[in-house]
Amino acid sequence: MNPWMKWILLATPLALTQCRSSSVAPIGTVTPDGNDNGNLAHGQGNVAYEAPPHTFSARPHPPRSRSDAPPPNLAALPKMVQRMDQCYGGSGGAVATGGPHGGSPIAKSPSKPAPPKPAYKQVKYSQSTSPSSPSPVQTTPVGGTAANKGGGGIAAGRGSSSDYDAVAAAPQSPPPPPTTQTKVAGGERAEAKREAPGDANMSRLEKKKKDRGRDKAAEAAPATAAPSMGEGQVAYGGAEDESSVAYEPMPRPDAEQYSDWGQATYLSNDDTMSLSSAQRVIFAIDKFLPVPLEHIRPHELLNYFSFETAEVAATDDFSVLPEIAKDPKQEGIYNLALAIRGRPVDKQARRNGNLTFVVDRSGSMSDEGRMDYLKRGMRRMIGELKTGDLVNVVLFDHEVCVPVENFVVGRDKPETLERAIDKMKPRGSTDVHAGLTRGYELADRGYQPTYNNRVVLVTDALANTGNTDPRTMAMVAKYYDERKIRLSGVGVGTEFNDALLDKLTERGKGAYVFLGSEAEVDAVFGPRFISLLETTAMDVHFQLHLPPSLRMNVFYGEESSAVKEDVQAIHYFANTSQLFLSDVMARGGKLRPQDQIMLTIEYEDPESGQKMLEERAFSLAEIEREAYNIRKGRLLIAWADRLALMASRPQPMGTAPIAGAWIDADGWQQCEQGKADLRDMSQGMNDPEVTRVVSLWDKFCARYEQPRNPVRRTPASQPDGWPGAR
């Protein structure tokens, strides 16, 4: 054959490939991710991708040397003040006992004018591109970052935020409510009359993004529209989509439509102890209650259940167990699982706590045994305290009272704390803002630099008195988080305000759990109490680096973005783990075992405040296998998909919280198909949690009227898992 003709025949397919794709940068240019595009024009569609092996150089880090927390100086801690008679009835005033410092009822601080608030940016969006929008979305920050400056008075040097300097000056004086619209979060209308036009048709994630824009407007930042979601978030929406867009396999587009091969992506599954949606879903299934679509958040389901993890080396704060396997249903797609585990901490090793429990004792706490759950949990918590822990108890209804202030474990009589818990009774209406503000004030006044300073809010969050604007309360939480006082939220009751507690703990970067059974109560305030309080790392960012042969297709988490500022940093709680599950697209349809991936973990040491970094690089050859974590992750996502599909169906008329009360023949048929699918996926998985998930689906389907009795199975127990997962 003529050599020129041979060259033309070989070059023609490549030229046609380039002509068909407008998203591929010209050869020799540099793509937005910084990769030389000389090789990126090859390996698209069904053409094999050829390039030298792509490797990463993980940066070394100095060894982390950890030891048990130092013994506390009990004599230096403030004197206990108890006000039982004031809070529970009777005569007599405050009684002060204990250490060298006198105690007195709280006095209001003189009010100071708040300085103007600077603009700052905090926007979340998905980086993944869609066929209609092939280029990665980029945004430009508005304004600056939130300013940190030294706090005045007792908290000087710990830092504060200009978002809420008025609170520092007068913590008991509520700030002026923002003038922007009230957020509609989690699919629940906080105030329907103030909802913006079109909000009702938005997905939960879109509402969350729009709400953050409103928050920024309230803080004097110019409003900007959140960029559109990409392919991965349209498919699963970070677990926050509505039924109109979610939970159907998406067609696999041609690889040539993308220019984000090798894009480094920041990933977040929310805080490791944010488990409320999974706990609420299980609670609703067990009680034959409706399962709201906005409660089905796959990333929290992945947080809730356990996965195989690697041991954390003595020199590290994290371990990473990566696995990748071909997706059985999608050509050219691979499932990537990153199991991340934090450094283990026991009671002896954990820091002492300056713990302020803000307890809801309003009349609604009498419903469904909510107060009984609360008191059971706090009694259980006493056994988890250690010598030197400092405890405050704040009660709120329409009023606020502090029965115990500055109780020190090992110094003061335990009967005092037990009595304060036993005498709690529901009464009055609910002023969450007043209780939370008083709790933060006590925590701030008794701040201990070497302690874990934390507020624990236990409530049904049905705010109906005082300042009920969730943004105002969230600003308080954000302000004190920057003063190193953290927030954990504990929700109780079927009707508790998920949107409010979610917003508070999001801005306070804290844990968020739900008490739906005695087993959950005993776990949260018992073996998992350390996880509710102690953090392994603060302000954590996870960044996944992919080689040019891979791109992010779908991330089954809460947030993903190529821009660090668009993914909120999280706090990583002690003795917890997370599974980052994603679908990645292989260039040319096949995995290149010679390439590497890398995970970067940036965080702040909770004790010293020092900036830290750990990196791990792995070759695809060493992590490619049909791994157990991937199989379990697929099953949990499939379970979430089917729950979302059923939750999006119209609720039948005449339903009741009993088996067989839902009359919906089509719904029953879809449930039967789901049973078959989940059982097929669970074959060969000898895992009590998998058995529990399959049985939960059976229990969910039992609400529908059936032509025959459902199959009942008793799941085995698993000591390490959450009680609701057993």
Give the model confidence (pLDDT) of 644-702 as tens digits: 999 999 888 777 888 888 888 888 999 999 999 999 999 999 999 999 999 999 999 99
pTM of the model: 0.70
Q: For residue 667, is it left (φ>0), alpha (ψ between -120 and 50) or beta?
A: alpha
Q: Which helix (H) or strand (E) holds 169?
A: helix 165-169
Q: Which residues pair with 357 in a beta bridge?
A: 393, 456
Q: Supply the DSSP symbol for 23.
A: S
Assigned token pair, 725: 């997962």
CA 186 vs CA 190, 385, 457, 609: distances in Å = 10, 34, 20, 33
User: Taking the chain, what is the end-to-end CA distance rounded to the nearest angstrom?
Assistant: 70
- Phi, psi of 141, deg, nearest 5: -60, 150
- Phi, psi of 153, deg, nearest 5: 65, -140
Assigned token pair, 67: 């030891």
Is the separation of the CB atoms in 297 and 559 below 8 Å? no
Burial class (CB in 10 A: 0-12, 13-18, 19+), 673: exposed
Distance CA(723)–CA(719), nearest Å, equals 8
Distance CA(279)–CA(520), nearest Å, equals 8
In this prediction, the residues of the chain whose per-residue pLDDT falls under 70 are 1-47, 67-69, 90-256, 463-464, 466-468, 470, 495-498, 501, 503-512, 707-726
How many residues are listed for the chain in this entry?
Answer: 726
State residue 717's pLDDT score: 47
- Phi, psi of 489, deg, nearest 5: -115, 135
State residue 532's pLDDT score: 87
State residue 194's pLDDT score: 28
- Closest Cα to residue 542, out of 344, 345, 340, 343? 340
Q: Which residues pair with 197 in a beta bridge?
A: none
Distance CA(626)–CA(335), nearest Å, equals 10
Query: How many C-beta neighbours within 10 Å does residue 518 have?
Result: 14
Q: Alpha-carbon Rg of the chain, whole angstroms?
A: 27
State residue 463's pLDDT score: 64
CA 571 vs CA 162, 258, 508, 511, 606: distances in Å = 22, 33, 10, 8, 9
* Residue at 76: amino acid letter: A
Q: For residue 555, is it left (φ>0), alpha (ψ between -120 and 50) or beta?
A: beta
Distance CA(210)–CA(194), nearest Å, equals 14
